[in-house]
Amino acid sequence: MEKHQIVYANRVIEFFIERKNVKNVNLNIKPNMTIMVSASEKVPLKFIYDFVTSKGSWILKNFKNFEQVQPYKQSEREYVSGESYKYLGKQYRLRVETTSEEEMVKYYRGFIVLMVKDPTDLVRKAKLMDEWYREKAIKTFEQSLDKQYPLVQKYGIQRPKIDLRIMKARWGSALIDSNTILLNSELIKAPKHCIDYVVLHELIHFQYNDHKDGFYNMLYSFMPDWEKRKAMLDEEIVREL
């Protein structure tokens, strides 16, 4: 990969170019805010520079969102009523309630309700929220696999297992040797149709363990609008992570 930069609105924007066999020029901002551009060897460098420049406003908008949202999520999360949490593509307000019975998190009337014995126990509240997100993620990802796997089953692909992990730079990974799809647990914050795209993407890697024409031909045939789903992930969901 090659490192390049442009100047847009008096700001230097650095990006990496990866040459591979793709039909379009694609620009992605990873959750760690690294800018990746993929393009075939046939695309002139000037075209790529112009393409990145045309995305300058959107790139700076994402940078601004990252600067505003990330510190809050990392250091100021208190798990108190009124905080906003993303789940399946929508924002929900948190409602913290004191209980003398079982501690739990539940979705109720448009709120995520955190029921805890000691509302001042930050560690316990964080643990309950993490467990709730993980439980929802496992259930939702398995449902997505149920829906997407029949598309590739006829190619002799064995149904893989689902595993979760927090990943900084990717949504999923196909672990061929262990027949496992590893998914970013943060993906539960994306809409279901975006989750379906990631699951199908990784399933196809069990047939084509690369990103060459065969891979994209299969992806287009099963999900013609996959680029729109991917764009939503990159443009709308990454900034919340």
**pLDDT digits over 32-61, tens only?**
678 999 999 999 999 999 999 999 998 888
DSSP labels for 182-226?
Answer: EEEGGGGGS-HHHHHHHHHHHHHTTT-SSSSHHHHHHHHHH-TTH
Question: Which pLDDT does position 56 carry in this prediction?
Answer: 92
Between 121 and 239, the more confident residue is 121
Please state the domain extents for the chain: 2-75, 84-240
Question: Which pLDDT does position 107 carry in this prediction?
Answer: 87
User: What is the C-alpha to C-alpha distance for residues 114 and 81, in angstroms, rounded to an integer?
Assistant: 9
Answer whether residue 240 shows pLDDT above 70: no
pLDDT bracket for residue 4 (50, 70, 90): very high
Q: Taking residues 196-206, report their average pLDDT.
A: 97
DSSP summary character for residue 147? H
Q: Taking residues 57-83, report their average pLDDT.
A: 69
Answer whether residue 239 shows pLDDT above 70: no
Answer whether residue 62 shows pLDDT above 90: no
pLDDT bracket for residue 159 (50, 70, 90): very high
User: What is the C-alpha to C-alpha distance for residues 189 and 183, in angstroms, rounded to an integer?
Assistant: 12
Determine whether domain 84-240 maps to CATH 3.30.2010.10.
Answer: yes
The mean predicted confidence, pLDDT, of the chain is 89
Question: Which pLDDT does position 32 carry in this prediction?
Answer: 66
Where helices occur in the chain by DSSP H, the ranges are 45-54, 56-75, 122-153, 192-204, 213-222, 226-232
CA neighbor of 69 nearest in space, from 83, 53, 49: 83
